[in-house]
Structure 1
């Protein structure tokens, strides 16, 4: 399986103490360092720790500089024992995301050895009540590094922050603009840069078309061989489009390499049909499976959402429409023309003709086109998450793809998702549909294998995006502005 990670998250640790607390503070800190070193191998992050305790204001100033010099992404401030509230006032000025960590008491009788939790409580409160001008917040952690509460809570943070730091500095390509009429997919590139650190190069369709025709026969033939190894080709009609699919793969690869793009959003119709005599769905599927995440219809914000899911899960994401729902078993039908992926398909994806003919040509009628990559989803748990195109809100849901031959089925990439949960809470299919429609959620749904709602929510919390709240179904008109 491919990895889309650009760099590892870097975690730093400092320990705060007050000298007159009697617990073995060095033993506690050493144990914590060793525990984080093990977790750094399990969760694949870089780890740096300050060797000396922070006791005085001057220590805190030096520790802050040390962590800034190391370009730490996430700073863990451990209350190894109780400590002065002045220390967090300095350390909270870090550029990094911030976590506060308390450990359990190490004896059960006599003088309180550490008073660690109380110090974390003090420091959390100081950050908000006394330092509001910093605009800083922190996540709390409790326990030793091997404790289940700490490990699970910490892993959620590592995956969430890993996604944020990998997204920041990304550059995407928007080729050919949005698909005509899909104007709910517009976005403000200034907000995309200011909130997420993402830039977009807008490229004319003609530039990609030029690359398409410039590809060498040798390169195209090599990709054709790969295509035949990876896909089942449905018939001679689909076979007739394999050369064009391979040529498009080569062209997009070259475009991505030249621009050093982290993802591409390409307007897939109508110009591929009218000017190149093909549909690009199969090529997009091929490119995404190999690591060049490519989304259809010029949907930049879906691309952003997919990349966040990929960085969280370290697994390829896929983009779907929501085409139907079934109240009898609370399931929803996810479908798209044909971007079937080997990472999701029940069996080998199939290259076949597009279900929808076009364009219409006088004397010839409606022209059929290919290739799409068709598939049925394997049975698996999955997460669906999307940032709104206003770049201020998001939703996340989870479920399980089911195999029920009695349910309706259609050509393309598709599957029924059941056991629905919205922000971790069970939800009926009707309430889900009502929420998406009343809240005006965009019609594209990024999907990734596994349950990652906690991680996505945490990433959105750090980025200060608001959740799209559930709107239970009612028979009357519901005005979302008044809810």
Structure 2
């Protein structure tokens, strides 16, 4: 696993002499305030501290930010400035934000102090209409640091681009292939690389299983087993042999992650673990996610990528993968549930029951485990998943309800739903899922990450799935 890299933002300010507002003083105040935001939002900042008044200065500033390795250039129209100053920044092909500032109070002279917004308007139009070779998105900003319109827009951009840059060159290990019958989860690795910059590493199921079985370090196995039950977990002690097997598998998976530089794994979690090793690996999936190695069930590479993106957007929060198993029109909620692969870190205050997986328990046979029986803690949460061709993105957000009864497994009712920022009833949600053909897995993270997910889609050139309003007749 590689460490998450911070986003690098370059800042420069363009100016012109005829506008006599305090453009130099304002820019200095703004970059100093932005330095404080860099600490709180978690990005690196490099500032061209001298105002840009001529073409040579614009060329040099763009080159300096490019050489530094900027991921995003924030160009402030500290005042109106020459149109051609934008071109060297565009030529870097680094993502751009165009920033206009407030004019301030009129002076006794009465002249327009900065004409900043007009400069932003000019640059944006030049890039979108005149420079037909420039095909990247551009984001606008307005105001001063400390003002909501500026701060919130920057916060969303930092979250989105933090995911974008860390997805680039990430590696997802596919262990054992896609689960039998889930052909809609099969991906073309070229699409994954082209759209988000990640790659798939194929790992052999038998090799990893043999490595797990061959581990002789009992201290490491015991320490790993203790990690499974450390967080508010009730453990069925009859399942000690199964816990040892999961501990061996976790050690083998972590070794593979280190050896192959994996950021995530997509595991074909059935039926071979049950038939070849006599164990269900649901609790293993939860434990891997607890440690920061993103783990998706059933060989689902698109969901592993979605979970990884949510993990990066939330600066390393634990994520999980759910099914949407039923709906309730009476209170406009849907039930998110899975066999039990969710980390105990995401459980409500009743904690986790780590026990045999009822799905595989049979009369006259030893119980098969382990899975995490838990209810998700209440709070805002965001579902975000790539389609297998990585051309579309489902973004669904709402609130987890931990009071309404449900079924054994990892679960929580999900209400107050929105699809792609639009409020959606349960029939709307079902209509959207069915008509879009979206697959049956739902990566989930806590927090309102919908704006960041939507912006990430914009930077990556991926289309968010739009809400479809319910009708009682078929629409093709």
Pair in the same fold by TM > 0.5: yes
Q: Matched residues in 2 for 1:105 and 1:58: separation?
A: 27
In structure 1, the residue matched to 2:353 is: 350
In structure 1, the residue matched to 2:421 is: 424
Q: Matched residues in 2 for 1:79 and 1:470: separation?
A: 37
Give the structure-1-normalised TM-score. 0.94
Note if contact 2:97-2:140 (Cα within 8 Å) is conserved in structure 1: yes
Shift of 1:5: 5.5
In structure 2, the residue matched to 1:254 is: 255
Note if contact 1:357-1:366 (Cα within 8 Å) is conserved in structure 2: no
In structure 1, the residue matched to 2:19 is: 21
Cα deviation 1:375-421 (Å, max 9, x = unaligned): 1111111111111112101121111111334x4x2111111111111
In structure 2, the residue matched to 1:474 is: 471
Q: Which runs of 5+ in 2 are unaligned?
A: none
In structure 1, the residue matched to 2:338 is: 336
In structure 1, the residue matched to 2:322 is: 320
SS of 1:58 mapped into structure 2: helix
Give 1:180-329 correspondences, 5 Å limit: 180-216=180-216, 217-230=218-231, 232-314=233-315, 315-329=317-331
Give 1:119-138 correspondences, 5 Å limit: 119-138=119-138
Shift of 1:230: 3.1
Q: Matched residues in 1 for 2:126 and 2:365: separation?
A: 68
Q: Matched residues in 2 for 1:378 and 1:274: separation?
A: 33
In structure 1, the residue matched to 2:450 is: 453
SS of 2:336 mapped into structure 1: strand
Shift of 1:231: 5.6
Note if contact 1:98-1:137 (Cα within 8 Å) is conserved in structure 2: yes
Shift of 1:233: 4.2
Note if contact 2:55-2:85 (Cα within 8 Å) is conserved in structure 1: yes
- Out of 83, 97, 106, the residue aligned to residue 95 of structure 2 is 97
Shift of 1:324: 0.3
Q: Matched residues in 1 for 2:360 and 2:449: separation?
A: 37
Cα deviation 1:187-234 (Å, max 9, x = unaligned): 110111111111111011011112111222221122122234336344
In structure 1, the residue matched to 2:7 is: 9
Note if contact 1:176-1:205 (Cα within 8 Å) is conserved in structure 2: yes
Note if contact 2:334-2:415 (Cα within 8 Å) is conserved in structure 1: yes
Note if contact 1:263-1:292 (Cα within 8 Å) is conserved in structure 2: yes
Moved more, 87-96 or 287-296: 87-96
Tell whether 2:375 aligns with 1:376. yes
Q: Matched residues in 2 for 1:401 and 1:454: separation?
A: 18
SS of 1:378 mapped into structure 2: coil
Note if contact 1:233-1:239 (Cα within 8 Å) is conserved in structure 2: no
Q: Matched residues in 2 for 1:226 and 1:59: separation?
A: 56
Give 1:24-103 correspondences, 5 Å limit: 24-103=22-101
Q: Matched residues in 2 for 1:84 and 1:131: separation?
A: 15
Shift of 1:119: 0.5
Note if contact 2:195-2:391 (Cα within 8 Å) is conserved in structure 1: no
Give the structure-2-normalised TM-score. 0.96
Note if contact 1:68-1:95 (Cα within 8 Å) is conserved in structure 2: no
Moved more, 51-60 or 307-316: 51-60
SS of 1:132 mapped into structure 2: coil
In structure 2, the residue matched to 1:433 is: 430
Cα deviation 1:132-187 (Å, max 9, x = unaligned): 21213310000011111100111111111111001101111111110010111111
Note if contact 2:401-2:415 (Cα within 8 Å) is conserved in structure 1: yes
